[in-house]
Structure 1
């Protein structure tokens, strides 16, 4: 199944191209980008992120889109929807996520791209609920979640299974948005 392309006022959310991997690795090797995420070991592991995104699109018809700012840059980051790949109290679920090069922070791109992904998830996929997760200290991402109208599930905090016990990034907060709560 091919990946659809989404357009917003300023952005293009598009399928991955082989050349995107050249921009993905510098972004994922930047400590600012990865402050609240487990580190990506090397270029091979970074390329695997793109491969998983492409495979998710092939299986499900949606996934993590590359975010392009037309006329500015072909790769500002990525944003989209993925099936949560582990079992937890809120799964099965579809999660929205984003990762941007720090050069493009503070310009509203994450919120704009995520809004387009949410709209696609609710309108085109018919999802009833979309979740977002992050570590409690990631105030920038939590602010985006709140701007999107997502609400924190205060009873939903959990330990991320892929993160080692005792690691400072293990504890996660969960935000939720139901289709019925989306503002017209």
Structure 2
């Protein structure tokens, strides 16, 4: 693999099959390719990106990590470190809140990678203190809707975007476990 360094960031997340690394300068070529591919990125907000726009977004994503402590990860397969796509937690430009997003190469679909990466990102976000994380999918995007449903996100709204009906889902941080009650004496 060319590109991203293998040094672990404190925000690197490992799952049974994946390594999620915060995006950095070494990911630029992978991100330009992914974000420029209609099949991989066409359904994302604002669609495919030019190489220049992908570079601008990478700089924004790096800065976002520094300010927020969460952001976009590059998803790599654990066995061979192959770049599979992205998963992230980003502030939506429409003010709806922090949103889970994911985009993987089409040939990676159907193998559970999106679910595994998205589950890890959600858990990271809730541990980082995000009480509510949303996700948005086109009504017609059944694959993304299935992933969101499998992760336990619940429908919570709809809106129109460029003539398409959009569904909003939410994940609420689980309540903290009650503290164990101290025993008042030895058990009899």
Bin of the TM-score, shorter chain as denominator length: 0.7 to 0.9
User: Residue 32 in 1 paired to residue 39 in 2?
Assistant: yes
Compare relative contact order (CA 8 Å, sep 6+) and give the higher one, 1 or 2: 1
Per-residue deviation, 1:26 = 2.0
Query: After TM superposition, what 4+ stretches of structure 1 lie above 4 angstroms from structure 2?
Result: none
- The answer to whether the Cα contact below 8 Å between 1:100 and 1:110 also exists between their aligned partners in 2 is yes
* Matched ranges for 1:121-132 at <5 A: 121-123=125-127, 125-132=128-135
5+ residue gaps, structure 2, are: 1-8, 176-188
The aligned counterpart of 2:158 is 157
Q: What is the distance in 2 between the residues matched to 1:141 and 1:48?
A: 26
1:26-48 deviation per Cα after TM superposition (whole angstroms, max 9, x unaligned): 22222211332333342111222
The aligned counterpart of 1:94 is 98
1:123-172 deviation per Cα after TM superposition (whole angstroms, max 9, x unaligned): 2x12221110011111111111001011112xx11234xxxxxx344x32
- The answer to whether the Cα contact below 8 Å between 1:6 and 1:13 also exists between their aligned partners in 2 is yes
Query: In the superposition, relative to structure 1, how do residues 180 and 30 fare at CA in structure 2: closer, same or farther (>3 Å)?
Result: same
* 2:25 match: secondary structure: coil
1:8-35 deviation per Cα after TM superposition (whole angstroms, max 9, x unaligned): 0011111223231111222222221133
5+ residue gaps, structure 1, are: 161-166
**Alignment partner of 2:74 out of 66, 69, 92:** 66
* 1:72 match: secondary structure: coil
Per-residue deviation, 1:3 = 6.0
**Alignment partner of 1:116 out of 112, 120, 123:** 120
The aligned counterpart of 1:53 is 61
Q: What is the distance in 1 between the residues matched to 2:48 and 2:16?
A: 32
TM-score, length of structure 2 as denominator length: 0.80
Per-residue deviation, 1:51 = 1.8
Counting matched residue pairs gives 167
Q: Which deviates the most, 33-42 or 5-14?
A: 33-42
